[in-house]
Structure formats: structure tokens, C-alpha cells
């Protein structure tokens, strides 16, 4: 487990107009020089380049470039409508992204009458781009800089899970599920269905749910996908035709905010499922990759296997840890570290309008 935190150790510098600098929700490295980040209020992915460090940060990234998802995919919704990207992973030349998939509820606003706010609070909406699960080819340009492309020179193509503005194959599958199905009609911030973590292992995907949390049990969904007919399609996980496995994890009542493999271990960033200023912690599931590959049960409960957690700081409406990823060893002198990035960074995590700071977690 991580055994110490190095605060403000990573400086991220964004270009003016970048949409993700204060709502970071996903992160992944490709090599030591390139960091990809996503925000939950945009419909794009931002690529940052490693720069010489400054006195107040061990690592520094900047020279950002936005890659609009509408340039890479035929989106189910409008090109500018937010995708609420919450999970990201970079594996074997692909950048994988996933939206929250959840409904949203309008909030009460200061200055409105009680009647107006009551009407707002009753309104639910689905942004079609939120129901996005996609993989995007990473390809070097003429200068050797990694870029996201619609179609790579080797024939790899950007694809999303088959679906439309109302849903996709995953939500159709989950609609009939006894545990998850009822929560598809509840907004994510009300303990409804909300995907916030993604980890890729070959053709198998792990999706961590912020909600629902059921009697204190957090849910991790396991699916597999394949390219077929120009789209991603669900495929069976085994010879029995299983399309979904559910893993209920004991994370002390917290929902999953992000997850990432480090070797065979799976690390889980967890926090409140509702709109709360509460504990944010990192848990470890040792040897999870091996256990998941060997498992054939459709439902499993894991309590004893999950290691005790490390707490992360949080503020009152600020500094919500939303993204965690492994840092390349060459950036930290061979020591194992995680990068942690924060949504709604507070004043201590900002430098002007376009720079924010993340933390390093040193791992034993």
C-alpha cells in the first residue's frame, strides 16, 4: 500500500480555454513523457508533455493539446455535449475512456423561488454522450509525438460500444440485472448508477461504480468486448456465454472513484457516493488480476482480500481525489509511486487560472 503522500508534487499547466483543468477525473501515462487526462465537464481528452521541473514540484507537465471526441468518434449526442468522462486507461497503443453512464438531476439555485427550485429538483436528464465506452488509437505523428486518431496507419480504428442516444449494449444488459437495474433510473449523485473507474486487462474491462453502494458493498463490473462491424460489442467472458460478472467489495461504504492495475494488484480510489465531504481512501486488492482471470463465478464478494486503506485529504466542496494512475519508474528514480489528481482543486492546489497540482503517493 502507499505509505506516504508527497503533496503538490506534480504541476499540470493547461492552455487557456482548456476544459479539464479544474474537473480532472481520469489520468494515464504513455511512457515517461506523456500524460493524458480527462475531465467530467468536457467532451475531449487532454495530452500533456513532461517539462523541466520547477522548485515547487518534482514533476511538471504542460504544452497541453485537446483532442475532441467528436473528431475521433461518431458520438451518440451532440459534439459539444459533455461526455462526463470518469475513467481512463492506456494499454497496448489504445487509450480507453468511459463516461459515467448515469442520469443527472438539476440542482436548486440561489435566488430562485422555492417553487422554481422544487421544479428543478424534479427534473432528470440523460446526456447521450455520457453513455460512452470507447477505445482510441494512439499513433505518433511525424515528430514522434503521440496523438489520438480516428484511424491509424496500421488499420486500428477508434470505436465505441454499440448504442444510441438512449443507451448501449452495457445499459441494455444491466437493465435486467437484479442488483444494478433499478438504479439506472436514479441519478448518479443520488446513489444511482455511476461508472467512475476503468481498468483494462486484454479484452476484459473492469468498471468501478461510484454507485450504487448496496448495504455498504461497492460494485465492480467485469465485461469483455471485441471489435465487430466497426463497433465495440460485448462478448462472452467464458464458454458458458457469461456477459457480466459482478464483484462486490467491502470498501467501508465508499463508492469507487477510480481504479488501476499495478502489476497483478488492483488499486481502488474510493470516496462518498453522495454529495458529501467525506473520507477519500486508496484500497488495494492484492493479486486481483490473477484471481479475476481464474474466476468463473458470476457473482463474488470480497472482504478479507481487500487491504486496509490510506486516507487522502479533502476539503469542503474542494480537493476531491478523482484520478489515480501508476507513475513510470524513471520519473521517480525507480521508486514506486501513484499520481493522484483532484477535482475542484482548492486555492492551495492552484497557481493562477491554468495550473493545478496533484500529489504523489509513495508505495511500499
| pLDDT tens-place string over residues 137-195 | 999 999 999 999 999 999 999 999 999 999 999 999 999 999 999 999 999 999 999 99
Q: By mean pLDDT, which of 307-311, 319-323, 336-340 is the weakest?
A: 307-311
pLDDT bucket at 255, cuts 50 / 70 / 90: very high
Could you tell me the CATH number of the domain that includes residue 200? Answer: 2.115.10
Mean pLDDT of 2-21: 84
Give the separation between CA 165 and CA 3, rounded to whole angstroms. Answer: 44
Give percent above pLDDT 70 in the chain.
98
Provide the percentage of residues in the chain whose pLDDT is more than 90. 81
Specify the pLDDT at position 98.
97
- Of the candidates 35, 165, 27, 166, the one whose C-alpha atom is nearest the C-alpha of residue 85 is 27
> Which pLDDT tens digit goes with each residue over 193-214?
999 999 999 999 999 999 999 9
What mean pLDDT is predicted for residues 122-140? 96
For residue 4, pLDDT over 70 is answered with yes
pLDDT at 19 over 90: no
Q: pLDDT tens-digit profile of 38-96?
A: 987 889 999 999 999 988 899 999 999 999 999 999 999 998 888 899 999 999 999 99
Q: How far apart are CA 176 and CA 61, in angstroms?
A: 44
- Mean per-residue pLDDT for 117-128? 95
Query: Among positive and negative, which fits the CA dihedral 16, 339, 200, 247?
Result: negative
Predicted pLDDT at 1: 54
| Structural domain span for residue 264 | 2-363
Beta 159-160 vs 124-125: how paired, if at all? Answer: unpaired
Cβ-Cβ contacts under 8 Å for 282 (sequence gap 6 or more): 1, 2, 267, 268, 269, 270, 309, 310, 312, 324, 338, 340, 361
- Per the structure, the count of domains in the chain is 1
CA distances in angstroms from 129 to 43, 75, 166, 225, 356, listed in the order given: 8, 7, 10, 19, 27
Mean pLDDT on 229-238:
97
pLDDT of residue 2: 54
Question: Would you state the cell numbers that stand for residue 323, as one nine-digit string?
Answer: 484520478
Name the average pLDDT for the chain: 93
Q: Single out the residue of 169, 164, 251, 167 nearest to residue 209, CA to CA.
A: 251
pLDDT of residue 37: 96
* Residue 364, pLDDT score: 66
pLDDT digits (tens, 9 = 90+) for 283-299: 999 999 999 999 999 99
Q: What is the pLDDT of residue 274?
A: 81
For residues 303-314, give the mean pLDDT. Answer: 87
What mean pLDDT is predicted for residues 272-281?
84
- Range with the lowest mean pLDDT among 19-28, 199-208, 346-355? 19-28
Task: Kindly tell me if the per-residue pLDDT of 360 is higher than 80.
Answer: yes
Least confident stretch, 110-124, 221-235, 316-330: 316-330
**Omega cis (within 30) before 276:** no
> Is it the case that residue 263 has pLDDT exceeding 60?
yes
Please, are residues 281 and 312 in contact by the beta-carbon 8 Å criterion?
Answer: yes
Amino acid at each position: 500500500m502507499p505509505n506516504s503522500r508527497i503533496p503538490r508534487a506534480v504541476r499540470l499547466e493547461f492552455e487557456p480555454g482548456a476544459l479539464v483543468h479544474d474537473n480532472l477525473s481520469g489520468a494515464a501515462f504513455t511512457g515517461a513523457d506523456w500524460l493524458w487526462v480527462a475531465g467530467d465537464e468536457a467532451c475531449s481528452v487532454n495530452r500533456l508533455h513532461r517539462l523541466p521541473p520547477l522548485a515547487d514540484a518534482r514533476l511538471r507537465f504542460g504544452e497541453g493539446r485537446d483532442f475532441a471526441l467528436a473528431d475521433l468518434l461518431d458520438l451518440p449526442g451532440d459534439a459539444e455535449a459533455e461526455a462526463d468522462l470518469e475513467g481512463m486507461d492506456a494499454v497496448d497503443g489504445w487509450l480507453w475512456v468511459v463516461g459515467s453512464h448515469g442520469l443527472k438531476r438539476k440542482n436548486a439555485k440561489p435566488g430562485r423561488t422555492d417553487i422554481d427550485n422544487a421544479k428543478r429538483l424534479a427534473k432528470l436528464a440523460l446526456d447521450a454522450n455520457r453513455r460512452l465506452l470507447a477505445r482510441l488509437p494512439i499513433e505518433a505523428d511525424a515528430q514522434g509525438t503521440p496523438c489520438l486518431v480516428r484511424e491509424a496507419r496500421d488499420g486500428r480504428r477508434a470505436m465505441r460500444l454499440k448504442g444510441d442516444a438512449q443507451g448501449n449494449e452495457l445499459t441494455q444488459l444491466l437493465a435486467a440485472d437484479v442488483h444494478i437495474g433499478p438504479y439506472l433510473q436514479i441519478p448518479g449523485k443520488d446513489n444511482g448508477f455511476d461508472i467512475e473507474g476503468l481498468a483494462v486487462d486484454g479484452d476484459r474491462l473492469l468498471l468501478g461504480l461510484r454507485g450504487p453502494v448496496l448495504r455498504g458493498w461497492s460494485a465492480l463490473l467485469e465485461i469483455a468486448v471485441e471489435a465487430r462491424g466497426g463497433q465495440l460489442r460485448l462478448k462472452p467472458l467464458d464458454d458458458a456465454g457469461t456477459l457480466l460478472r459482478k464483484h462486490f467489495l467491502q470498501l467501508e461504504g465508499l463508492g469507487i472513484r477510480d481504479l488501476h492495475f499495478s502489476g497483478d494488484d488492483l488499486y481502488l480510489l474510493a470516496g462518498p457516493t453522495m454529495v458529501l465531504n467525506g473520507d477519500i481512501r486508496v484500497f488495494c486488492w492484492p493479486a486481483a488480476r490473477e484471481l479475476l482471470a481464474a474466476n468463473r463465478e458470476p457473482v463474488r464478494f470480497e472482504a478479507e482480500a481487500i487491504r486496509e486503506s490510506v486516507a487522502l485529504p479533502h476539503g469542503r466542496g474542494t480537493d476531491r481525489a478523482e484520478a489515480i494512475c501508476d507513475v513510470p519508474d524513471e520519473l521517480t528514480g525507480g521508486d514506486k509511486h501513484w499520481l493522484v489528481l483532484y477535482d475542484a482543486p482548492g486555492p492551495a492546489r492552484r497557481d493562477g487560472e491554468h495550473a493545478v497540482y496533484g500529489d504523489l503517493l509513495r508505495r511500499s
